């Protein structure tokens, strides 16, 4: 719309996607009905994204993509209205980032700290808001929209939260499994050291310890 393009061709609509317009799956979060819609979504998104404690860009992007996927899938499955009105905007992703940020705050603080309580309150607030919207079909605080955001899909916010938290859980589980299992390089170094030790005669080990010490210093496992 800002560049003279018809934004309707970028909104997600199931029938159009089934007809071959697959790009709508990727472009719909960037489309907004009015400047006010863009202001609300973009400001929330950037504030929440910049506030994430996670510093790794890959994980940050995973939260964003998972929030977008969850918002889209849940809306597609449970909101028939998107067949005619379509789906667009960043609000689903923003809700997912808010939930992730709250869990991060709780995970990095003591349960007795004020920060943990703030995180718990934020998590309860965003999840409760999304649950209310998903069950009633009405947007919380919709009076603040002034009729300038089109027809919001209420369940999309819950989908964004589910997607963001699921990504956080999977990445956390994957990270723990990697920490519990030694890397392949370390396992290889251990095996090589064992082979060398078995192949070295006993008198050589006692009379010439210096080469073995040097090998340990240069081994990745020795460090």
SS (H, E, C) the chain: CCCCCCHHHCCECHHHHHCCCCCHHHHHHHCCCCHHHHHHHHHHHHHHHHCCCCCCHHHHHHHHHHHHHHHHHHHHHHCCCHHHHCECCCHHHHHHHHHHHHHHHHHCCCCCCHHHHHHHHHHHHHHHHHHHHHHHCCCCCHHHCCCCCCCCCCHHHHHHHHHHHHHHHHHHHHHHHHHHCCCHHHHHHHHHHHHHHHHCCHHHHHHCHHHHHHHHHHCCCCC
Is 1 a member of any domain?
Answer: no
Q: Give the pLDDT confidence score for residue 141 in this predicted structure.
A: 86
**Average of pLDDT values for 120-136?**
97
**Do 97 and 176 belong together in one domain?**
yes
Number of folded domains in the chain? 2
Task: Tell me what pLDDT residue 186 has.
Answer: 52
Mean pLDDT over residues 97-102, rounded? Answer: 98
pLDDT in tens, 156-204: 999 999 999 999 999 999 877 777 655 554 554 454 445 445 555 554 4
Please check whether residues 33 and 121 belong to one and the same domain.
Answer: yes
Both 111 and 66 in a single domain? yes
Query: Do 168 and 63 share a structural domain?
Result: yes
**Structural domain containing residue 131:** 7-180
Same domain, 117 and 21: yes
pLDDT for 146 equals: 87
Q: Are residues 146 and 160 in the same domain?
A: yes
Across the range 145-162, mean pLDDT stands at: 93
């Amino acid at each position: 719309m800002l560049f003279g393009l018809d934004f309707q061709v970028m909104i997600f609509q199931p029938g159009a996607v089934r007809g071959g317009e697959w790009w709508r799956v990727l472009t719909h979060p960037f489309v907004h009905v009015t400047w006010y819609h863009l202001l609300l979504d973009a400001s929330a998104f950037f504030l929440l994204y910049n506030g994430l404690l996670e510093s790794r860009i890959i994980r940050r992007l995973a939260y964003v993509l998972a929030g977008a996927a969850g918002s889209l899938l849940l809306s597609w499955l449970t909101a028939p209205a998107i067949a005619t009105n379509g789906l667009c905007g960043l609000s689903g992703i923003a809700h997912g980032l808010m939930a992730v940020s709250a869990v991060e705050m709780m995970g990095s603080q003591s349960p007795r700290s004020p920060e943990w309580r703030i995180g718990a309150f934020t998590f309860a607030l965003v999840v409760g808001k999304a649950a209310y919207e998903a069950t009633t079909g009405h947007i919380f605080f919709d009076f603040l929209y002034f009729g300038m955001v089109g027809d919001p899909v209420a369940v999309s916010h819950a989908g964004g939260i589910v997607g963001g938290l699921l990504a956080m859980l999977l990445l956390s589980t994957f990270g723990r499994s990697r920490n519990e299992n030694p890397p392949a390089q370390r396992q290889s170094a251990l095996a090589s050291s064992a082979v060398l030790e078995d192949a070295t005669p006993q008198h050589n080990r006692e009379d010439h310890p210096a080469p073995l010490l040097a090998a340990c210093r240069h081994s990745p496992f020795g460090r």
